[in-house]
């Protein structure tokens, strides 16, 4: 049984800038103890890690770049004293405010970029006894600063529109025409990415059409150059088989929680997103079309 635990009042543990975090610290002990006080601390930081590919396995495990502190709160919750046997609840509250020179950044767990806010409560014991400790992650969301407008885009994929096809291969590319529309390249994170696609014609059989959501994390600096890391975070099939050519087929992709955050562009690190539309033909040919998108947080 845990001797000490944190219970936040807000069920989803998500907070915005300036909001007050309410909760209780629950101490539950089998016999009375005396203590040296309880301390509450909150740490918010951006942790970057250079890619394994660039530095090698050994380095990647140990040479993480020093995390950037963006939030730090530390205050005593209780003076030294005694706890009776059983359950004791100590309420706490603190404003969710970043350090003076930093901005609040949304919680995000990527492979190379990690933005997290952790709350810790430590009950200091007397003598050599081990301290009691409880940790809880708090999630930050940052409201958008400016208004945004949707950017719709029509697209058309034909053999001519392909860019990186060698001249040898061009003869092997089937004759096809696929058109469609993306409702917006600026995407609110809470809304799905939508659009539709239509196969106008295709000389060889289509096996599948897929929509891929790609995340690009890059970190480094202008001096040393950026390390880019792309991850596929969502891949949805929208067409299975050689589909009929008169019907508009909807594209509907949601942004998965935790793996996504609003697009982030800073000096040292960036998080960007792209959408790929892949057309897989039954003769193993694959055609893809890339659309960079901007993910934003909305109200």
Binding segment toward other proteins, per CB under 8 A, in 51-59, 156-164, 170-178, 205-213: 205-213
Which of 97, 212 has the CB closer to other proteins? Answer: 212
Rounded CA separation 260/295 (Å): 9
Note whether 64 binds other proteins by CB under 8 A: no
Helix (H), strand (E) at residue 56: none
By CB under 8 A, tell whether 280 contacts other proteins: no
- Which residues from 93-122 bind other proteins, rule CB under 8 A? 109-111, 114
Asked whether position 16 contacts other proteins by CB under 8 A, the answer is: no
C-beta of 221 vs 231, nearer to other proteins? 231
Question: How big is the CA angle at 213 (ends 212 and 216), to the nearest 5 degrees?
Answer: 130
- How distant is the alpha carbon of residue 59 from its chain centre? 24
The answer to the question of residue 53 lying near other proteins (CB under 8 A) is no
Site string for other proteins, 245-264 (x = CB under 8 A): -xxxxx-xxx-xx-------
Q: Give the separation between CA 54 and CA 51, rounded to whole angstroms.
A: 6
CB of 113 to other proteins, least distance (A): 12
Distances (CA, A) of 190 to 102, 193, 255, 299: 25, 9, 7, 9
How far, in Å, are 48, 92, 142, 249 from residue 67 at the CA level?
A: 7, 27, 20, 45
Least distance (Å) between residue 188 CB and other proteins = 15
Within the chain, what is the greatest distance between any pair of CA atoms? 83
Q: Is 86 in the site for other proteins (CB under 8 A)?
A: no
Instruction: Count the site residues for other proteins by CB under 8 A.
Output: 38
Question: From the list 231, 266, 283, 290, which residue makes contact with other proteins (rule: CB under 8 A)?
Answer: 231
- Residue 124 and residue 131 in contact, taking contact as beta carbons nearer than 8 Å: yes
Say if CB 103 and CB 14 are below 8 A apart. Answer: no
Other residues' Cβ atoms within 10 Å of the Cβ of residue 72? 13
Residues that bind other proteins (CB under 8 A): 7-9, 11-12, 24, 109-111, 114, 192, 205-206, 209, 231-232, 234-244, 246-250, 252-254, 256-257, 282
């Amino acid at each position: 049984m845990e001797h000490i635990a944190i219970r936040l009042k807000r069920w989803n543990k998500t907070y915005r800038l300036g909001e007050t975090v309410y909760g209780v610290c629950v101490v539950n002990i089998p016999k009375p103890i005396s203590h040296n006080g309880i301390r509450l601390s909150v740490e918010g930081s951006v942790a970057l890690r250079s890619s394994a590919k660039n530095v090698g396995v050994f380095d990647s495990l140990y040479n993480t770049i020093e995390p950037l502190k963006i939030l730090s709160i530390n205050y005593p919750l209780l003076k030294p004293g005694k706890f009776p046997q059983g359950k004791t609840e100590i309420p706490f509250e603190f404003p969710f405010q970043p350090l003076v020179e930093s901005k609040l950044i949304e919680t995000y767990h990527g492979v190379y970029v990690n933005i997290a806010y952790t709350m810790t409560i430590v009950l200091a014991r007397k003598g050599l006894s081990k301290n009691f400790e409880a940790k809880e992650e708090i999630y930050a969301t940052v409201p958008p600063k400016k208004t945004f407008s949707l950017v719709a885009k029509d697209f058309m994929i034909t053999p001519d529109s392909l860019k990186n096809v060698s001249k040898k291969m061009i003869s092997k590319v089937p004759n096809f025409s696929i058109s469609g529309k993306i409702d917006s390249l600026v995407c609110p994170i809470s809304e799905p990415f939508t659009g539709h696609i239509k196969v106008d014609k295709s000389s060889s059989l289509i096996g599948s059409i897929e929509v891929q959501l790609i995340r690009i994390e890059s970190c480094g600096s202008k001096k040393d150059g950026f390390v880019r890391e792309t991850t596929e975070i969502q891949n949805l099939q929208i067409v299975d088989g050689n589909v009929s050519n008169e019907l508009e087929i909807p594209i509907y992709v949601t942004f998965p929680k935790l793996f996504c955050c609003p697009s982030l562009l800073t000096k040292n690190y960036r998080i960007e997103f792209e959408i790929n539309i892949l057309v897989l033909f039954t003769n193993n040919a694959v055609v893809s079309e890339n659309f960079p998108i901007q993910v934003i947080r909305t109200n």
